[in-house]
Amino acid sequence: MHTMKTTREKVLTTIKLHPKSTILEIAQQVDINAISVRHHLTNLQAEGLITAEEERHGVGRPRLVYSLTDRGMENFPSRYFHLVNSLMDQIKKTLPEKDINSIFHNMAEKLTSDYEPMLTKMNMEQRLELLKTILNNEGFDVEWEQQGQQCCIKEISCPYFKIGNNHPEVCLFDKSIISNILDIPMNKISRQDRDEDLCTYTIDLADQK
């Protein structure tokens, strides 16, 4: 079913098709006034979907031009998503569940093995900061909070959230990274789905001495 695009979607689409567009260029493409465009751009930038940079154009002050961030690009269907989705369908038809789980555990093990020597010298807070850095490098955006004997790791963005809709097994990748870096068994890490298909991981630290 075809649906009309909102102004917000039109602005995003225009920036996708014409990277480094100015406010006036976007206003012309979307056919709304520049003040309305500026309002949408402010919101989109606050959500991390677009980025602004200064561009010189002859004499005078530089102008601001806008492009999509990686997170902004995730708003659009892409070929890689359809490919990975199909691959996961075929893998699940071919391999038993335990073998599929092992694939994601092994991917996490390979990623985190280089950090093992330094982990023995780290306390929990240092491990959590390292975990945040590692996940950020993998395209996640996370924040963590420790309250007493409980720690909450909340995803702000996830590079695999579209795939995870159909194949929740992919969440074993980031869950395994958390397990390896914090040295906490998988069964001590509980996962809850949130709005926008993001995950929150809760860890009980009471018996992790």
**Antiparallel, parallel or unpaired: β 150-157 and 63-68:** unpaired
Within this chain, do residues 102 and 58 fall inside the same structural domain, yes or no? no
Average pLDDT over every residue of 139-146: 87
CA distance 5 to 30: 11
Within this chain, do residues 69 and 121 fall inside the same structural domain, yes or no? no
More confident residue, 195 or 125: 125
Count of residues in the chain = 209
Within this chain, do residues 199 and 121 fall inside the same structural domain, yes or no? yes
Bridge partners, residue 202, by sequence:
152, 190
- In tens, the pLDDT along 84-114 reads 889 999 999 999 999 999 999 999 999 999 9
The pLDDT, as a whole number, for residue 196 is 59
Count of CB atoms situated within 10 Å of the CB of 135:
21
- pLDDT bracket for residue 199 (50, 70, 90): confident
Within this chain, do residues 200 and 99 fall inside the same structural domain, yes or no? yes
- pLDDT bracket for residue 22 (50, 70, 90): very high
What b/e string do you get for 46-74 counting C-beta neighbours within 10 Å, with b at 16 or more?
eeebbbeeeeeeeeeeeeebbbbeebbeb
Give the DSSP per-residue string, 143-176.
EEEEETTEEEEEEEE-TTHHHHHH-GGGHHHHHH
CA distance 128 to 182: 7
Residue 1 lies in a domain: no
Within this chain, do residues 63 and 151 fall inside the same structural domain, yes or no? no
Within this chain, do residues 91 and 130 fall inside the same structural domain, yes or no? yes
Residue 141 lies in a domain: yes
The pLDDT, as a whole number, for residue 197 is 62
CA distance 156 to 117: 29
Within this chain, do residues 98 and 114 fall inside the same structural domain, yes or no? yes
SS3 202: strand
CA distance 159 to 70: 9
Residue 35 lies in a domain: yes
The pLDDT, as a whole number, for residue 194 is 62
Give the DSSP per-residue string, 80-125.
HHHHHHHHHHHHHHHS-HHHHHHHHHHHHHHHHGGGHHHHTT--HH
The pLDDT, as a whole number, for residue 35 is 92
Residue 209 lies in a domain: no
Percentage of the chain lying above the pLDDT 70 cut: 92
The pLDDT, as a whole number, for residue 201 is 92
pLDDT at residue 162 above 90?
Answer: no
Average pLDDT over every residue of 145-163: 84
Average pLDDT over every residue of 62-80: 80
